[in-house]
Amino acid sequence: MPASTQKSRFGLIVVGDEILSGRRQDKHFPKVVELLGARGLQLSWVEILSDDRAALTAAYKRSFASGDIVLSCGGIGATPDDHTRQAAAAALGVPLELNDFAKEQITIRCAENAAKGQGSADMNAPENQQRLQMGFFPQGCEAVPNPFNRIPGFFIHDHTFVPGFPVMAWPMLESMLDTRYAHLHNKEDRAEHSFIVYGLPESRITPALEALEQKWPTVKAFSLPSVGEGGSVPHIELGVKGDAAAALEALEFLRAEALRLGARYEPPVTK
């Protein structure tokens, strides 16, 4: 079920108790924003989920039903705390099965390791049988090649599942964006602009933000207030994002409205 229109939304799911406990910091969110942005695309939503099979199953049921393009990072290994493969299968109501490409790649990986004196090339060996578990994907999946260590991820219904390790995940996601979703690249000439004002209550500028979005439907307005944390002077960052040509017009409108309502571009001088 490939994405068919330029309006397709992209979502990100990051899986791992280690993220939620703070043992590790998530790096996927900023990287995915970067990868999408470089292709004229943008992220619509993100979820960080625990290694809990029931919670993952429920989340994937929602995301499969959404029609969104989803990138899922983490939890596709074969240890007891990895539940992503099983949860995706449960969400789709299909069994897990050993993917032919995954079996081939894992077998080659084991042989390569054995040639370096690391383990055995015998695929009947218990440790290699355990490694093969990483090739059991929901029935009907396509494998996603992993250039780092050959252990693939999988793709089904506009969901791409990759490992949690950035060194593996990011090249895999980039390849998918440049092949499967190349037709979505740069479909819209988008832009984002902002400026900082002082002495303007957010409540005063809000009607102008609402009027802006009514006048330019392809543009979204935003207001990011600062209350003076860290000793800075309270201010608001006002901005627009959306269709490039309309965004420039909307920006000038917003600047004019801010000045008309008493905003200043310079902070007060403290003595």
pLDDT (tens digit per residue) in 162-182: 999 999 999 999 999 999 999
Whether 1 shows a pLDDT value over 60: the answer reads no
Structural contact between residues 196 and 237, judged by C-beta atoms closer than 8 angstroms: yes
Domains and CATH numbers, the chain: 10-184 (3.40.980.10), 190-260 (3.30.70.2860)
pLDDT at 6 over 60: no
Q: In the structure, what pLDDT confidence band is assigned to residue 7 with cuts at 50, 70 and 90?
A: low
Confidence of residue 154 (pLDDT cuts 50, 70, 90): very high
pTM given for the model:
0.82
Q: Flag whether pLDDT at 5 surpasses 50.
A: no
Model confidence over 97-139: pLDDT tens digits?
Answer: 999 999 999 999 999 999 999 999 999 999 999 999 999 999 9
For 13, the 3-state DSSP assignment is strand
Beta-carbon contacts of residue 126 (< 8 Å; ≥ 6 apart): none
Task: Specify whether the CB–CB gap between 252 and 259 falls below 8 A.
Answer: no
pLDDT in tens, 181-233: 999 987 667 889 999 999 999 999 999 999 999 999 999 999 999 987 777 88
- The Cα–Cα gap between 16 and 269 comes to 47
**pLDDT tens for each residue of 38-65:** 998 989 999 999 999 999 999 999 999 9
Predicted confidence at residue 191, as pLDDT, reads 87
What is the DSSP-derived secondary structure letter of residue 184? G
pLDDT at 271 over 50: no
- Helix, strand, coil shares of the chain, percent, nearest 5, are 40, 25, 35
Give the span between the Cα atoms of 126 and 69, in whole angstroms. Answer: 37
- How long is the chain? 271
**pLDDT computed for residue 227 by the predictor:** 85
* Residue 138 parent element (H or E): strand 136-138
